[in-house]
A and B are shown apart, each in its own frame.
Chain A
Amino acid sequence: MALVADRLGIELVELDRANCCGAGVIAEHNPELADTLNARTFAMAQQTGLAMMNICSTCQGAQSECQQRLDADKAYRAHINEVLAGEGLRYEKGISNKNFLWLLVEDYGLENLRAKVRRPLSGLRVGPFYGCYVLRPTSRLGYHEHPDRDAYLERVIEVLGGEPVDYEGAHKCCGFPVITMNRETSLRQAGRHVGDAIDAEAHALVTPCPLCHLNLDLQQIEAAGVVGRELGLPILHLPQLVGLALGFEPKELGMHKHVVKTAEVEQVLQPAAAPAAAG
């Protein structure tokens, strides 16, 4: 992400004291705890005076859920702020918190992104996999103002020169949340969606969620066993896909660390063009 942000000209100020968003699991256990933990993160971001960006569908969903509660009730927010006061923090309602995908389309701009492409992903067929937490429920994820948020990945893929692939599982669940509770339910979902993308002749899936990436990539061989078919589809993080189009090499983007080898993707890629003069 750091490499990609730099080349895009986005300055990232890391919140290095920020805690985990809870991923919905802490909210399940104790909603007030999740709300306080995320109010802390929001408050730290607000101290910088900048809008916040997250790089995970699950963080977006978990944090938006907490933000909705915090923003809706003044007394509750004041109660939470009492706890945060111990660290000198205070959450003011209305923080702007967007994941990288939304930021790219809404704030950075697709035409600006297109202008930065040094290596168009020509011929690369990519299936979008959003991750539940950035898709639903639409009422607390800003879809009223931005109704096309569930089609952004396709647009980004196109602008980067690739070909978005239409397949059944794009808006479904990777199964990660139940991996320890019901392995079969978890991996059957992952296996089916990867299988459907393969049937639609995708070269890869791209996802904005690292947890989806875990279930779709790290567990892909196990998922293949559960659904009874061979898979072997590379799964890319969104910053990796953008990075490839910006001209970075697969190894710089950590693609060699994937469990499902990304050779198929690399074969389709053109060599990166030289950077424009005085870029």
Chain B
Amino acid sequence: MADYKLRVRRYDPESGKPPYWADYQVDLDGHRSVLDAILEVKGREDGSLGIRCSCQAAICGSCGVRVNGQAKLACNTKLSDAAANAAKYEDGGTIKVEPMGNMPVLKDLIVNMDDVHWKKVQRIVPWLIPAGDPPEREYVVPPETMIDVTQSMACIHCGACVSDCLSMEVDPLFIGPAALAKAYRFVGDPRDSQTEQRLNDLAEDPHGIYDCTHCFNCIQVCPKGVAPMDQIMRLRRRATRDFGITDQNNGRRHEEAFTNIIRKKGILDERKLLQDSFGVLRPQGQIQLLRSLPTGLRGFARGKITPRKALMHERLDGMENLRRIYDHAEDHHEEVNLYILGEGETQDEKEPAMGETAGGPTS
């Protein structure tokens, strides 16, 4: 048994007082969870401490909280890990526990998921819309066609990704990682007949799939490996590749501009990227380009961008090699999904950790 210090964010809406931090200490083994510690405090010191919990086994999704600033399930966060993590930033290793972010706080560690998480999930039409009359028995599809969506299906609606979504933090209207991952579950389901409509809706929405800021927070915090950002990228691929959807948000234009510039030059021509992302032939694009003009002019004034670089950006030698790579990939576009394959399962020898030489870990 060891002593663990917790600093918990308390808030009682009926008291009329603002939120405050309260310090507690528990004596538990390090392998016990943060949830165990909170329940210990609740049982021995203050029964009014509010937390949602149920299964205590990382499957019901109830106990989402922020531990040391990051959204997690309290029930599968070990006290020893949480304390070690806290000790990185301050002496003493006091474990900070607060309610999840991006959602209104009801009381203590309990947040209102209805008005944010659930509302956004509802928005993406989270039910199957098959075509035609119902069959006599089941809708039958080959099992391999459903493997891809098992990753989306793993979601337990804990809200951790919503809590820590950095796009949503600055734009509360962003549909968000949980809802978009759930949307892929239907887009990727061969029994659904509204694939194009769903994708069109999500691509054209000004707070839709192209609003993800690529910060990886949702992938990092998901306790189930759903990797919502990866599902969002799949939605983008399905929208552009399968249905040719060109959204008003410049999402497709930007993606294709970047890819084509590397195909032609090998390295990035930033001026052309901007221009092609907005689309010079579109009136909207011209307006957006004009709005970027002050930034560009400032860059020129400081010598950060030179006229030569802007107009005649260099290209790499050996471009025929890149063309060959592009031609091959455009025909194949295989997607290796380690969630399905398993990481390192096809290894025949021990794989070195990332960032280390093949000769073995440095001590």
Do the beta carbons of B354 and A67 come within 8 Å of each other?
A: yes
Determine how close the nearest CB of chain B comes to the CB of A195; give it in whole angstroms.
12
Do the beta carbons of B333 and A32 come within 8 Å of each other?
A: yes
Determine how close the nearest CB of chain A comes to the CB of B261; give it in whole angstroms.
8
Do the beta carbons of A185 and B211 come within 8 Å of each other?
A: yes
Contact partners of A178 in chain B: CB under 8 A:
167, 210-214
A-B contact count (CB 8 A): 231
Which of these binds chain B: A110-118, A217-225, A265-273? A217-225
Determine how close the nearest CB of chain A comes to the CB of B320; give it in whole angstroms.
9
Do the beta carbons of A144 and B353 come within 8 Å of each other?
A: yes
Contact partners of A104 in chain B: CB under 8 A:
none
Beta-carbon nearest neighbor of B341 in chain A: A73
Task: Count contacts on A: residues with CB < 8 A to the other chain.
Answer: 84
Interface of chain A, main secondary structure: helix
Task: Count contacts on B: residues with CB < 8 A to the other chain.
Answer: 83
Q: Give complex CA distance A188, B166 in Å.
A: 11
Do the beta carbons of B324 and A31 come within 8 Å of each other?
A: no
Interface string of A97-132 (1 = CB under 8 A from B): 110001000100000000000000000000000001
Which of B262, B302, B317, B362 lies in contact with A26, CB distance below 8 A? B262
Do the beta carbons of A258 and B256 come within 8 Å of each other?
A: no
Contact partners of B217 in chain A: CB under 8 A:
132, 136
Determine how close the nearest CB of chain B comes to the CB of A233; give it in whole angstroms.
16
Q: Give complex CA distance A73, B337 in Å.
A: 10
> Does B56 sit at the interface, judged by CB under 8 A?
no
> Does B283 sit at the interface, judged by CB under 8 A?
no
Q: Give complex CA distance A86, B338 in Å.
A: 27
Do the beta carbons of A32 and B268 come within 8 Å of each other?
A: no
Beta-carbon nearest neighbor of B321 in chain A: A87
Contact partners of A12 in chain B: CB under 8 A:
none
Chain A contact residues, CB within 8 Å of chain B: 17, 19-20, 22-33, 35-37, 40, 51, 61, 64, 67-69, 71-76, 79, 83-84, 86-87, 92-98, 102, 106, 132-133, 135-138, 140-142, 144-148, 150-151, 172-173, 175, 177-178, 180-186, 188-189, 192, 218-219, 221-222, 256-259
Given A173-B213, A178-B211, A182-B211; 14 other pairs, CB 8 A cutoff: A24-B214, A29-B240, A29-B256, A61-B216, A68-B354, A72-B351, A87-B321, A96-B355, A137-B216, A178-B214, A180-B277, A181-B210, A218-B299, A221-B298
